[in-house]
Amino acid sequence: MEFERLRNLMVETQLISRGIKDESVLTAMRKVPRHLFVDDSLIERAYDDNALPIGEGQTISQPYMVALMTELLELRGDENVLEIGTGSGYQCAILAELASSVCSVERVEKLAIRARDLLGSLGYRNIEIKITNGTYGWEEAGPFDGIIVTAAAPEIPKTLVEQLVIGGKLIIPVGDRWSQILMKVTRTPEGVITQSITGCIFVPLLGDLGWKEGWHD
Ligand code: SAH
């Protein structure tokens, strides 16, 4: 009950107050138990207005950033969505509440397995997690109506845009290590439309088409 109260408070004070309007996104954020996606030692801080460490040098994103990126996908329920960077699995759960299928890739085996177990135990049956370097996307599982990249890329990977349906959207932070711009890239028959949404800070997307390993140390 206490966590439910904290979740409702999070939605009011962090999301609605900053302009998140999509009711289905707000409903998902009120529902998914974020405190189960962080380490027990951080459980009291799970609904705080910031990112939190999840081990392996990675983070679970700030609630507002999860809500904003999800809202930008404009999901209506029948979509196939790809996430790059499963991490804790929290963003994955939010997407699974709103789309018909979610594919997620994670390069760190330990995180992928933990997220897969947790999401399974929470009853999600529309999520598939693959352990791999995701900068090339997941061609066999596509095409996707939406792709969300939860790590910072030096540029927009062309391979990801190619795995979108026409009308599909890619949400991705692009920039350098300490500051990025969240970009919304829409694939149209005439090419891509790129919009800058807001400044943000994510952990780096590593590997081919991302940053070199060790670069962030
Ligand atoms: N969406 C996550 C946040 C993850 S942080 C959540 O809700 O908790 C970013 C994640 O991207 C990290 O777990 C990191 O290991 C992963 N990552 C970084 N580069 C990657 C790559 N090239 N392919 C797949 N995953 C990657």
Least confident of 39-48, 85-94, 202-211: 202-211
- Rounded to the nearest angstrom, the distance between the alpha carbon of 85 and the centre of ligand 1 is 3
Give, for ligand 1, the residue of 84, 104, 172, 209 to mutate: max count of ligand atoms closer than 8 Å to Cβ: 84
Show Cβ contacts of residue 52 under 8 Å, excluding neighbours closer than 6 positions: 38, 42, 45, 46, 59, 60
Structure tokens at 15: 């999301």
Q: Where does the pLDDT of residue 33 fall: very low under 50, low under 70, confident under 90, or very high at 90 and above?
A: very high
Hey, which residues does 148 pair with through a beta bridge?
A: 83, 171
- Model pLDDT for residues 107-163, shown as the tens digit of each residue: 999 999 999 999 999 999 999 999 999 999 999 999 999 999 999 999 999 999 999
The pTM is what?
0.96
Q: Where does the pLDDT of residue 210 fall: very low under 50, low under 70, confident under 90, or very high at 90 and above?
A: confident
- Rounded to the nearest angstrom, the distance between the alpha carbon of 86 and the centre of ligand 1 is 5
What average pLDDT score do residues 94-102 get?
Answer: 98
Give, for ligand 1, the residue of 103, 111, 205, 212 to mutate: max count of ligand atoms closer than 8 Å to Cβ: 205
Pocket of ligand 1 (CB under 6 A): 54, 58-61, 84-85, 87-88, 90-91, 105-108, 111, 133-135, 150-151, 203, 205-207, 210
> For residue 217, what pLDDT is reported?
42
- Rounded to the nearest angstrom, the distance between the alpha carbon of 106 and the centre of ligand 1 is 6
- Model pLDDT for residues 6-22, shown as the tens digit of each residue: 999 999 999 999 999 99
Closest atom of ligand 1 relative to the 134 alpha carbon: 23
Give, for ligand 1, the residue of 36, 86, 103 to mutate: max count of ligand atoms closer than 8 Å to Cβ: 86
The half-sphere exposure of 166 on its side-chain side, counting CA atoms within 13 A, is: 4
Q: Which has the closest alpha carbon to 169: 78, 71, 67, 86? A: 71
| Continuous segment of H or E residues that includes residue 130 | strand 127-131
DSSP state of 68: H
- Rounded to the nearest angstrom, the distance between the alpha carbon of 6 and the centre of ligand 1 is 26
| Continuous segment of H or E residues that includes residue 114 | helix 109-121
Residue entry with tokens 């979740």:
7
> For residue 214, what pLDDT is reported?
60
What average pLDDT score do residues 25-52 get?
Answer: 97
Helix axes 90-98, 109-121, angle to 10 degrees: 40
Residue entry with tokens 């800070």:
201
Write out the catalytic residue numbers.
61
- Rounded to the nearest angstrom, the distance between the alpha carbon of 105 and the centre of ligand 1 is 8
Query: Is the CB of residue 54 less than 8 Å from the CB of residue 38?
Result: yes
